[in-house]
Amino acid sequence: MRVAVTGANGLLGGEAVALLAGRHEVLALGRGPCRLPPGPYRWTSASLGDGSTAAALGAFGAQAVLHVGAFTDVDGCERDPVAAWQVNVVGSQEVARACRALGARLVAVSTDYVFDGEAGPYGEEDLPNPRGAYARTKRCGEEAALLLAPDCAVARVAVVFSGRPGAKSTFATQVVEKLSRGEPVKAFADQVVSPTLAASGAAMCLELLLEHRYRGVLHLSGATVLGRVDFAHRVARRFGLSGEIVPVATASVQLPAPRPLSAGLKVDRAAALLREKPLTVDQALERFHAEWQRRGR
Ligand SMILES: NC(=O)c1ccc[n+]([C@@H]2O[C@H](COP(=O)([O-])OP(=O)(O)OC[C@H]3O[C@@H](n4cnc5c(N)ncnc54)[C@H](OP(=O)(O)O)[C@@H]3O)[C@@H](O)[C@H]2O)c1
């Protein structure tokens, strides 16, 4: 099958390309040069929102598309809503229209930030109420995908982390790095989240894309809903690290964009539907630790 992945240089996209390569004909799309390890996939440099991604999908003749690419810097989106709209809304519209024209199945990846965080964890039937430019543009991107691509599922994930060599820094990697250096780690005491190991999220997204006909929204985060302080302690414990984890109130930090506090996603539907099950946080940390061990080699 001809399968394309947008945002292929990113956390989830990189994992998806690694899982697909060698099993399907794969087009990896990202802006600028490829930063992934070499493999049996084709790379095309394309931006989201300017037509170049749609052109590349058309030239490839994509039959299935995992749309992961996004402007994911939450505070960056708040500072530059025009760019956020261009990438997260116009870019999603571009991908969805291309899928419509090609008759391709689409899985568009989204976020728990579409909820306001007043009463999480949230199920698929709960009503989004996004706050801030990132959340609002991601929500609009969801609607563009669902409305324009006839065969589409929106997969929401949350707090993605990866120990893969070259993967970008995340809260989990910062906990390991800071505690290893003997530095304290600050963790928001009032944020509840469902951390998602990138490799697990990518595997669930690909199963949804290639093996199911499910249409509509599906929550594909990790299975454990917990506070960030608890998450930090569990990361530390798995890595045998001691040190100070400092609870901080979100309101005490000046952040450009609002954060949902009581967030997190319910994944019962995914657990019932998929062979690739959402991982508990301890299962995810086991794999994260193994990924991290491979970094040094
Ligand atoms: N990370 C999280 O905690 C989290 C939580 C919930 C939902 N999500 C969603 O999950 C998806 C994947 O996120 P991720 O964690 O893998 O994020 P990521 O590592 O930031 O990956 C996003 C990718 O999109 C690319 N991109 C950004 N602007 C682009 C543009 N104009 N044209 C083409 N590509 C562009 C980025 O390119 P560069 O590498 O060049 O910057 C990056 O490779 C996103 O849809 C995100 O909204 C993420």
Q: What is the pLDDT of residue 134?
A: 98
Closest residue by Cα to atom 40, ligand 1, is: 31
Strands 152-157 and 160-161: unpaired
Q: How far, in Å, is the centroid of ligand 1 from the Cα of 70?
A: 4
The vertex-68 CA angle with 254 and 230, nearest 5°, equals 45
Ligand 1 site residues, Cβ closer than 6 angstroms: 7, 9-13, 30-32, 47-48, 68-72, 87, 109, 111, 138, 157-160, 168
The pLDDT value given to residue 257: 97
What is the rounded average pLDDT for all residues in the chain? 97
Below-70 pLDDT ranges, the chain: 296-297
Q: Is 222 helix (H, G, I), strand (E, B) or coil?
A: coil
Please tell me what DSSP assigns to residue 124.
T
Pull the structure tokens for residue 48.
């989201």
CA distance 104 to 94: 13
Residue with tokens 């509840």: 192
Q: What ligand 1 atom has the least distance to the C-alpha of 8? A: 43
Tokens describing residue 31: 């802006």
Task: Give me ligand 1 centre to Cα 191, in Å.
Answer: 21
Instruction: Write down the pLDDT at residue 296.
Output: 66
Q: Whose CA is nearest to atom 24 of ligand 1?
A: 69
Q: Where are the alpha helices (DSSP H) in the chain?
A: 11-20, 52-60, 74-79, 81-84, 91-102, 133-148, 171-180, 198-211, 228-238, 268-273, 281-295
Active-site residues, by number, are 134
Cα 167 to ligand 1 centroid, rounded to whole Å? 12
Separation CA 280–CA 129 (nearest Å): 27
In three-state secondary structure terms, 169 is coil
Query: Cα(36)–Cα(198) distance, rounded to whole angstroms?
Result: 15
Residue 297: the pLDDT is: 57
Residue-level pLDDT at 295: 82
Token pair for residue 272? 């019932």
Ligand 1 atom 19: the closest Cα is on which residue? 10
The C-alpha angle 218, 112, 167, rounded to 5 degrees, equals: 95
Pocket mutation for ligand 1, best pick of 74, 160, 200 (most atoms within 8 Å of C-beta): 160
Q: What is the pLDDT of residue 166?
A: 86
Closest atom of ligand 1 relative to the 86 alpha carbon: 31
81 cis-preceded (ω within 30 degrees of 0): no
